[in-house]
Amino acid sequence: MALSRRDAMKAGAVLAAAATAPAAAAPVHHAAVKSSVPVAKPEASVRERLLLDFGWKFHLGHAADPAWDFGFGANQRTFAKAGYGIATSADADFKDDDWTAINLPHDWVVDLPFVPSTKSYKPDEEDPRAAHGFKPVGREYPQTSIGWYRKVFDIPASDLGRRIALEFDGVFRAATVIFNGYIVATSGSGYRSFRVDVSDFANYGGKNVLVVRVDASLGEGWFYEGAGIYRHVWLTKQDPLHIAQWGTWVKSSVTGRTATLSIATDLVNEGAVRTAHIVSTVFDPDGRVVATLKSPELNLGAGEKRTVAQTSTLSSPRLWSLEVPALYHVLTQIVAKGAVIDDAVTSFGLRTTKFDPAKGFLLNGKPVKLKGTCNHQDHAGIGAALPDALQDWRIAKLKEFGCNAYRTSHNPPTPELLDACDRLGMLVIDETRRMSSDEESLSDLEAMIRRDRNHPSIILWSIGNEEPQQPTERGARIARVMKRRCNELDPTRPVNAAIDNPDAWGKGIGPVLDVIGANYRTPKIPGFLATSPKSIVIGTETGSTVSTRGVYVRDKASGYCVAYDTEAPWWASTAEAWMKVAMPDSRIAGGFVWTGFDYRGEPTPFNVWPNVSSQFGILDTCGFWKDNAWYYKAWWGNEPVLHLFPHWNWTVGEKINVWVHSNLDTIELFLNGQSLGSRKMEPYGHVEWDVTYAPGTLEARGYKDGKLVLTDKRETVGAAAQILLKTDRGSLAADGEDAAVVAVEIVDAEGRVVPTASNLVSFKVTGGALLGVGNGDPRSHEPDKASQRAAFNGLCAAIVQASKSAGDLRVEAMAPGLKAAALVIPMKPAKPRAAV
């Protein structure tokens, strides 16, 4: 239930009683996040912020031929006359009947076919096209590197006099925004959020044509980036005197049982001279009003911008933590002549953070080891265009094996990912895209910090990753400028960068940083700290084991790695190698594994066709666990763990390397009831046996203090007989946005996963939409946007999305020769976000 304050604010005061009707808690998708608290969030009632995701049309353009690019640039007069002759697709009477109907977020590259190289490469060579997963995007592919988006919508006549703006959370890349025939904005970086005021160009009481040309001819990363309007777009309507975008900033300091809030509100007056005041109402995590602050009367001139500062003290604050991520909210209102003319809601958290040379990272005064993962932005089936529910799902999957920190590699993420980290309890390193002190790069850095600085999950600003200038004085000069800007915008968080050259820890950018990020070279960290005891170091990239889910026999020609913790590139290390150095050493604040999820592109260690995805992940591209996930769960978690692998379907007499990941004291292995001996589990290690295969049952028994605690079995399974469908969502919101991952298992007659099954599974979805499919195979060239997918080592997945009508979303899965399966997910009535 929303908290309406339109009437309450007529007298310029907030009725505390309104806080007794908190909003419904956000859904929690995983048992791993049961500890998160309800989010009772008030709502703005005057400002309109409308979702602009639905009802778009899309068409490819052409980077080299204006005739196929809707005339854009055809006569070299694109920027000659405002509102004239930009492109035929921007015309009000343009017919877009043959354009594809889409909703946002949207990534057109994921729909493109895989294209092999024309040159032959050896497995140990690197193919430059592999970096982006062999998708035809870039300067060599002008016919698939331009995308046009078009949406027609009404703006009521009653909006005349308000400020109308478009807000883009991210467009990849080089966006040209055309509104009613006028080029109203261009934006370079694909990771920057930006706002465009279109008040002067709107047709009030009529149709408005919004066209966005997106040029992905040039990339920003060396990994799959997708292309298109892959994040949300919003339409905002405000009074001429309003709160600026990202205009409320809440700083806090916690001392004992008291928290001091400093609230800064940026005002913009784009109208005539006005007199008004600010009312800031603070709500605790249960939705109760705990502070109401009223500023003096303010006289703002036409065109004036002003920052208003307010302070308050809270007693017995509820601190944000990993276990209980408590969120406060502030409702900021501008009141003029007794009426609220603009309002906004900002969430924040109360906590203390500190990096200490001897104790590492401290959260609320207690040492917390950073058990992190680095991640890119894409997911199987959908590319870079993730529904919000998938952001929550991915964070919850990481928390399942003990991960407590997330590095946004190597760019500012979508805002919804940070919202998920705030709600679910995940620490964050927020990273800008380019390490440079040029005007544009500093502007991108500023946009990231202004947008994100209220998130309690963020503990570090990262200004770069593995930059060539890292050991140089030039790099130091650039770092100093960037750090100074970070400190001006947010003095509450330290500044970090990821360094892959140990020489730069002690010179170049290293001494400039508050926290040195070490990419790999983990064994060198203790020696550096011994000679530089005041330095603070974290592993910003560690443990790059390359592994393929379900593969246990090394065959380089196959393009697959084994799922044991044995293979890493020359510059990296296995999980055990870095964990044994960093985890016991209190001086090392922790580490971020490269990576949490497999990702498209950069298909290490085989950077040649037909490999299209990386194999670094603890989880595959679908989010299925690899065996190393149990290793991290054993040493990052607090529960007893016992995981036995590999599967037990082999050739009789074959010698099989058997491993156990566990945090118990002693492991004993049995084959068909006969003991094969015990092994002692060393800290941050594993145990293994070489076993001659015989069909039957392989069993591991784990002991703690001499007592049996856990057992795990692998059985010889039969032929594939049926399909099982699973999801962790008990229901979906019928809002047209909510989504779920449906896991598909190919099982034998007794319901056991067949570890080598590759059956082609077909899907039918009714009551909702099938967004995409995947299977985690790093060599698969099957389309993501399809109604079928082959299982890979017994598993595949489908992503489904709810409709806007309550009822049942039904997923059916079929494969020749197998018993079909069906899964029903109820879609419950939900108030959709206000949309255009």
Pairing of strands 241-255, 258-269: antiparallel
Specify whether 466 is catalytic: yes
Residue whose entry in the numeric block shows the structure tokens 């998130």: 455
Answer yes or no: are the C-beta atoms of 58 and 41 closer than 8 Å: no
Region at 665 (left for phi over 0; alpha for psi -120 to 50; beta for the rest): alpha
What DSSP character marks residue 11? G
Integer CA distances (angstroms), 646 to 650, 695, 755, 796, in order: 10, 13, 9, 19
Of 774, 777, 775, 781, residue with least CA distance to 609: 781
Give buried/exposed letters for 740-752 (b at 16+ CB in 10 A, else e).
bbbbbbbbbeeeb
Q: Is 25 left (phi over 0), alpha (psi -120 to 50) or beta?
A: beta
**Angstrom distance (rounded) from CA 154 to CA 344:** 24
Q: What angle do CA 322, 327, 330 make, to 5 degrees?
A: 155
Tell me the three-class secondary structure of 435-492, residue by residue.
CCCCHHHHHHHHHHHHHHCCCCCEEEEEEEECCCCCCCHHHHHHHHHHHHHHHHHCCC
Three-state DSSP at 671 gives: strand
Catalytic residue among 466, 576, 699, 745: 466
547 vs 425: CA distance, rounded Å: 28
CB contact at 8 A, 760 and 787: no
Task: Give the H or E element holding residue 61.
Answer: none
- SS3 state at 229: coil
Cα(556)–Cα(243) distance, integer angstroms:
58
Q: Where do we find the tokens 């949207």?
A: 106
3-state secondary structure 748-788: CCCCCECCCCCCEEEEEEECEEEEEEECCCCCCCCCCCCCE
Q: How many helices (H) and strands (E) does the chain have?
A: 8, 45
Compute CA 731 distance to the chain's CA centroid, rounded to the nearest angstrom: 22
DSSP assignment of 58-110 equals EEE--SS-GGGTTTTTTTS-TTTSTTSSS-GGGSTT---TTSEEE-SS--SGG
Identify the H or E element spanning 360.
strand 360-363
User: Half-sphere exposure (CA, 13 Å, Cβ side) for 569?
Assistant: 19
Q: What number of residues does the chain have?
A: 836
Radius of gyration of the chain (CA): 27
Q: Which two tokens stand for residue 46?
A: 């005057």
How far apart are alpha carbons 210 and 724 in whole angstroms? Answer: 44
At residue 17, the 3 state secondary structure works out as helix
* Element housing 634 (H / E): helix 628-636
Are the C-beta atoms of 805 and 777 separated by less than 8 Å? no
DSSP strand pairing (100-102 vs 353-356): unpaired
Q: Which is it for strands 515-519 and 328-336: parallel, antiparallel or unpaired?
A: unpaired
Q: Which residues neighbour 379 within 8 Å (Cβ) at sequence distance 6 or greater? A: 386, 390, 394, 597, 621, 622, 623, 774, 799
Q: Which of 351, 282, 357 is nearest to 322 (CA)?
A: 351
> Which of these is catalytic: 220, 400, 416, 541?
541
Query: Which amino acid is located at 200 in the chain?
Result: D
Check if the beta carbon of residue 358 is closer than 8 Å to that of residue 586. Answer: yes
Across 216-287, the runs of DSSP E, i.e. the strands, are 233-238, 241-255, 258-269, 274-283
- Give the residue ranges of DSSP H helices in 274-406: 388-400
In whole angstroms, give the CA distance from residue 836 to residue 421. 28
Token pair recorded at residue 360: 């590492």
Q: Which residues are catalytic?
A: 466, 541
